[in-house]
């Protein structure tokens, strides 16, 4: 497939990353609205809960309507979510804390809820569409490249707020109109795209029961739980690292930039490198190496040294970078005829980003550093997943 047809799909992956803005929003909302770590962490629940509700139905609906239709639907839902805070006056000027600010907080939760619904729908369609545009044997590589572009979208939540505050005197809410413009462009471009969707003629039509029945396969269940815990661990890390910078190491003004440089930049670079590494190395082995690096990085967080912690965060970012696309592609490649149902199941598992971070937040309210025990426990489980998937 030509680049003119693949580029809009990669742009849709960029838009997918906007759903991850809930990570850095935890620290921003905590400071702007003066709420507890736990309440701010509920922002991630608002953003990721729709992954648990919508993914399987969207996977079934996608089997009937097609991936392009579902991709367009996801972009539309996300766009509506981004317009809501703009209508409530959250579009850049420093006006978050004022009389009636809790009305804005509720509007913000509604916005993130719809943005999460849009990101859910984009994930259900976007990951299997990448298989449609990939040459044989290149799915894992291309999916890692797409996920690296998604990491750029995720990074904007870290990079833009400090930049606009320092250079333009604007608030972090500038993210909403900026994201809305990018999604609108993507929506128009994808709508004009024409491509052939791959579908097995022998496969039975997807249904809710056929999707859930796949969980009876021990391998599928293992991988779905792996996605659940991985996303919970990643969102917990992206939410707590800026708080670690501020509360433990006293870095507030540029804490988001430092958090991005230590965590999301390695994720981006790791995914970019993964697209090339996977041309030479089998996905199963690469998953084992990635998780082992993450485990080592987690251990460094608990040595009590600032520089050990920084090194550990970088290692975690590099290790995390390819875990999602590897688990996803390994599972779909094992059962390509059930790609829509598997996509729905694994995107449902992204609800881990809604359920794990509040637990992390509760522990972090006791001690910020202790909060990292929660994502550490998740990664130890994923090590088991990696070892078993490598054997399969």
Question: Residue 98 — pLDDT band, cuts 50, 70, 90?
Answer: low
What pLDDT score does 291 carry? 96
Total domains, the chain? 1
Helix, strand, coil percentages (3-state) for the chain, rounded to 5, are 85, 0, 15
Question: Residue 121 — pLDDT band, cuts 50, 70, 90?
Answer: very high
Give the residue-averaged pLDDT of 223-246.
90
H-helix or E-strand spanning residue 258: helix 255-259
* Placement of tokens 């990939």 in the chain: 134
Sequence-distant (6+) residues with CB within 8 A of 135 are: none
Residue 176 has pLDDT above 90, yes or no: yes
- Ramachandran angles phi, psi of 252, nearest 5°: -110, -55
Residue 265, domain member (yes or no)? yes
Residue 200, domain member (yes or no)? no
Give the residue-averaged pLDDT of 192-219.
78
Please state, in angstroms and as integers, the Cα–Cα distance from residue 76 to each residue in 9, 73, 96, following that order. 15, 5, 26
Q: Token digits for 19? A: 């759903």
Q: Token digits for 384? A: 């088991």
Q: Domain of 384: which CATH number?
A: 1.20.1250.20
User: What's the CA gap between 177 and 103, in Å, rounded?
Assistant: 19
Evaluate whether 42 touches 26 at the Cβ level (below 8 Å).
no
Length of the chain: 392
Q: Which residues form the domain of 117?
A: 3-191+207-391
Residue 22 has pLDDT above 50, yes or no: yes
Question: Residue 99 — pLDDT band, cuts 50, 70, 90?
Answer: very low
Q: Token digits for 142? A: 């291309």
Give the residue-averaged pLDDT of 59-75.
91
H-helix or E-strand spanning residue 311: helix 306-320
Q: What is the DSSP string of 17-83?
A: GGGGGHHHHHHHHHHHHT--HHHHHHHHHHHHHHHHHHHHHHHHHHHHH-HHHHHHHHHHHHHHHHH
Question: Residue 308 — pLDDT band, cuts 50, 70, 90?
Answer: very high
Residue 125, domain member (yes or no)? yes
- Residue 86 buriedness (CB in 10 A; 0-12 / 13-18 / 19+): middle
Q: Token digits for 389? A: 């998937």
Largest CA distance in the chain: 61
Give the residue-averaged pLDDT of 302-326.
91
Q: Rounded mean pLDDT of the chain?
A: 86
The single-letter DSSP state of residue 288 is H
What pLDDT score does 376 carry? 95
User: What's the CA gap between 127 and 144, in Å, rounded?
Assistant: 10
What pLDDT score does 94 carry? 66
Count the neighbouring beta carbons within 10 Å of the beta carbon of residue 313. Answer: 25
Residue 202, domain member (yes or no)? no
User: What's the CA gap between 168 and 17, in Å, rounded?
Assistant: 24
Residue 198, domain member (yes or no)? no
Residue 372 has pLDDT above 90, yes or no: yes
Residue 201, domain member (yes or no)? no
User: What's the CA gap between 87 and 171, in Å, rounded?
Assistant: 16
Residue 98, domain member (yes or no)? yes
Residue 235, domain member (yes or no)? yes
Nearest to 267 by CA among 151, 386, 146: 151
């Amino acid at each position: 497939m030509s680049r003119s047809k693949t580029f809009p799909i990669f742009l849709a992956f960029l838009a997918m990353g906007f759903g991850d803005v809930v990570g850095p929003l935890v620290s921003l909302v905590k400071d702007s609205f003066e709420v507890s770590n736990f309440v701010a962490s509920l922002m991630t629940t608002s953003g990721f809960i729709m992954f648990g509700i919508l993914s399987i139905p969207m996977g079934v609906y996608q089997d009937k309507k097609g991936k392009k239709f579902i991709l367009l639907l996801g972009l539309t839902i996300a766009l509506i979510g981004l317009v809501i805070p703009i209508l409530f006056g959250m579009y850049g000027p420093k006006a978050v804390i004022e009389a009636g600010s809790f009305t804005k907080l509720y509007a913000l939760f509604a916005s993130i809820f719809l943005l999460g619904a849009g990101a859910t729908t984009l994930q259900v369609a976007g990951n299997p569409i990448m298989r449609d545009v990939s040459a044989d044997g290149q799915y894992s590589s291309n999916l890692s490249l797409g996920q690296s572009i998604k990491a750029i979208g995720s990074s904007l939540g870290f990079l833009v707020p400090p930049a606009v505050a320092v250079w333009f005197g604007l608030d972090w809410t500038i993210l909403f109109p900026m994201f809305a413009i990018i999604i609108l462009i993507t929506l128009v471009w994808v709508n004009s795209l024409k491509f052939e969707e791959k579908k097995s003629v022998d496969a039975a039509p997807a249904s809710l029961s056929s999707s859930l029945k796949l969980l009876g396969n021990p391998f599928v269940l293992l991988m779905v739980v792996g996605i659940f815990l991985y996303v919970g661990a990643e969102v917990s890390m992206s939410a707590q690292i800026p708080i670690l910078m501020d509360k433990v190491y006293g870095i507030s003004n540029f804490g988001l930039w430092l958090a991005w440089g230590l965590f999301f930049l390695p994720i981006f670079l790791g995914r970019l490198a993964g697209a090339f590494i996977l041309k030479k190395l089998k996905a199963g082995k690469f998953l084992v190496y990635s998780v082992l690096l993450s485990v080592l990085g987690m251990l460094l967080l608990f040595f009590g040294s600032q520089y050990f912690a920084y090194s550990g965060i970088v290692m975690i970012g590099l290790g995390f970078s390819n875990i999602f696309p590897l688990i996803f592609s390994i599972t779909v490649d094992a059962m390509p005829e059930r790609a829509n149902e598997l996509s729905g199941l694994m995107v449902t598992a992204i609800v881990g980003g809604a359920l794990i971070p509040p637990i992390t937040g509760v522990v972090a309210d006791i001690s910020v550093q202790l909060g990292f025990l929660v994502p550490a426990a998740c990664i130890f489980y994923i090590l088991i997943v990696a070892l078993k998937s490598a054997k399969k």
